[in-house]
A and B are shown apart, each in its own frame.
Chain A
């Protein structure tokens, strides 16, 4: 049994509620690598980086960061990055970097741990030595209760470049954790903490259940000496060239076969040819070439039993669409925002495939906008596939559901069939252009009857279905591979 599964068990046997804290270090723990690298890269790209600043960084690099004082100097050196900017601007910058770069570095296994803590109702806290605006976006994305970060001075909305109080480095972070515990009555002895860094020993020991996550050398020795669990996690790392080749093959096969079917459809004046045969076939070949397998763990029968219906799925990855096509195969179409229609090639294929395009911008006519979709269901008997989160989430979190898909099902008088995808995000994170080989795990939940729904309560029904997703994902028994590859279900394993 791996330390990882032991840990999940430990979390599930802990008391529930906000009195229990789950403290997460960010850089190197929740994500692989350092978020500051992305910041520096962005600044070098934008040519904002001065030579002096570069020199400071090199000097610090030579000397190394060994103490709180050293870290204070690092902060001092990063000052030009944000001094004089507005706080809102910096938050936006952090947000942008998170969704486009660092989110792809999230460790999937840590996400499992995070989810286990949330299920237990624990108080989720990010404790990072980084500055506040670097941490706020991730804190929001994982719905953390608190974000502990090194605070910067803001005067009239402008960041001055000064730091407030003690930097959250080493013992400074431990102090901040204890202060938070005092303020919110958190039972530290029953709480959990995670970190990878040598300097975080005092922070880890301030709780009763510390864990070293892929620890660096010094922390590893200390964790071994103290008997702390060591979670060795590595994001799957693959040969990028091979990944690019697989991804290329996937798109090539998908688009190539779609083009064939498209032409065939035109000739036969029957667009369904595309959807019925060409796309699923090309799609399956593409998935196989990309090394992606699809494993339906539960409820495969519901994919066909109650058609027509509205299939709803949780959207994490560009990979979701091919996976859904693979599952639903025939007599179905999707709903997409109008903008997708304008994407070259793909837009035309989807249009030809009979996709229903909805204008999201016009909120006032939301219900009328749904009419074409309702007609498809009622009149043509074609099922609909919708991602009720509206957009891909940047983390495996399930975002709030939009009401649209549920209105459609209600008006058409068809059931809603939830398709729960677990790990497409691990194989192709948002922001990532490359597909990693692996197996996508799917659970199809029993159809949800909509016959007694009322339009006024659509929001509640949307939330009910969302809860089904949360429960399904929470009950998913996962473990991580010893060699750090993708997590997968324990099904059929000892």
Chain B
């Protein structure tokens, strides 16, 4: 085996957080903005415990980020560093429990809600994995929770795709990178590094200022560029947005999970019929659900504020961390016709993507990251106005295994950074798995809301029947 083959993955290996990662990390200062992302995997059998531990040990060598803790500056400003924890202890991070009740999926999700609502220890590498046994038919579940600052959804999938096995049996000859060397850095070291970076940025800033002065020689162009960008900023920052629904106005720290699934082909057929993308169909299904929910509770609204992540990840970007920007829409809850709803959403997404200032938080981040956490929480308070945040992450399009167990489903659950509902969809091997996290205070009737989501999706999926040879429309199924 060559040295090269024993290299760790090229995944999440930059030594410092990006400004956007730092924004996520600092968000925890406000307990309502806690950024815990979770993934629930359903296994066809109970994996071998020793192999599972060994897999984690191996995985944390392949992706050393899982052995790294966050070292922040003394004042909680600037971008924190990642450093391999000298006290890394897998025994803390991987757990095993058994459902004590009827072993139902409902009980499983209740357990997951509790695990997700518990804060991650900021003094340790910010992730925990829990094997959950006691499911019917000999199945098992694995719940992975991590801080959003560690990675965004796409980054997580890029990592998992490389750490999950393609076979049930152990594959010999896998690369075996050595244990990463522990790094002892103090908060002061981080501060020193931050000042160094700011000094390095100085020439760039001088250059920017110089170019700014130069631009004044072409004032018309400079002005029109500045205006184009400037008028885009309030939209991106959520200062111009639809008013929130009165029905969903309450916020708390109570998370409630539900899970759904639908064949990816059905979503694609509906997209084709409406000349829209799978993502547009997905959003239209969700917003249709909100429509039914509001109608059934007798408080119809025209629009709700919706935020969608827009990936600004470029091929040359590092695989971990967060490379997302926020797109904002006024979810057209008032449009009854599913076709019109899909098309309207498609246009809104197009408009959001083409905002000149779409990447502002990544651009301004180096400045924003210097603000203390509490101030930042105020700044990012814009997100608390959202009634829905929805993301759609491509999954792994082949069979994957973990320690001898086949992964049947992957349900993602995003955090609730002040929004009423966070919906996340991952397509795992042909099945679109939808994990919905809802604020218990905003969605007062979770079961009704779930029924409405199914109804909303099925209405949109029915569009697909036109384009299919079998003239059958697919349907969303509530799993839990």
Name A's B-contacting residues (CB within 8 A): 62-64, 66-69, 170-172, 174-175, 178, 199, 201-202, 205, 218
Contact = CB atoms under 8 A, between A and B. Distances in A.
A67 B330 contact: yes
A62 B351 contact: no
B235 A66 contact: yes
Interface string B223-252: 000011011101100001010000000000
Nearest to B228: A64
Contacts of B303: 69
A174 B343 contact: yes
B227 A199 contact: no
A320 to B, nearest CB: 42
Contacts of A174: 340, 343
27 contacts: A62-B231, A63-B234, A63-B235, A63-B240, A64-B228, A64-B231, A64-B232, A66-B235, A67-B330, A67-B347, A67-B351, A68-B330, A68-B344, A69-B242, A69-B330, A170-B344, A171-B340, A171-B346, A171-B347, A174-B343, A175-B343, A178-B340, A199-B347, A201-B347, A202-B346, A202-B347, A218-B354
Contacts, number: 44
* Chain B contact residues, majority secondary structure: helix
Q: Which 7 A-B pairs have the closest CB atoms?
A: A171-B344, A63-B231, A66-B351, A175-B340, A171-B343, A171-B347, A62-B231
B31 interface: no
Interface of B: 227-228, 230-232, 234-235, 240, 242, 275, 303, 330, 337, 340, 343-344, 346-348, 350-351, 354-355
A66 B235 CA distance: 10
Nearest to B354: A218
B340 to A, nearest CB: 5
A195 to B, nearest CB: 14
A201 B346 CA distance: 11
Contacts of B330: 67-69
Nearest to B341: A171
Contacts of A218: 354
B5 to A, nearest CB: 43
A68 B355 CA distance: 15
Nearest to B230: A62
A225 to B, nearest CB: 12
Contacts of B275: 205
Contacts of B231: 62-64
Nearest to A202: B343
B118 to A, nearest CB: 39
Nearest to B231: A63
Contacts of B240: 63
A62 B232 CA distance: 9
Given A69-B242, A201-B350, 9 more contacts: A62-B230, A63-B231, A64-B231, A66-B351, A69-B330, A171-B346, A199-B347, A202-B343, A218-B354
A350 to B, nearest CB: 50
Contacts of A63: 231, 234-235, 240
Contacts of A64: 228, 231-232
Contact of A170 (B227, B230, B347): B347
Most chain A CB atoms below 10 A, which of B234, B242, B340, B347? B347
Contact of A62 (B227, B348, B350): B227
Contacts of B346: 171, 202
A64 B351 CA distance: 12
B229 to A, nearest CB: 11
B135 to A, nearest CB: 44
A69 B352 CA distance: 13
A62 B227 CA distance: 7
Contacts of B235: 63, 66
A93 B227 CA distance: 34
Contacts of A62: 227, 230-231
A68 B337 CA distance: 17
A324 B176 CA distance: 94
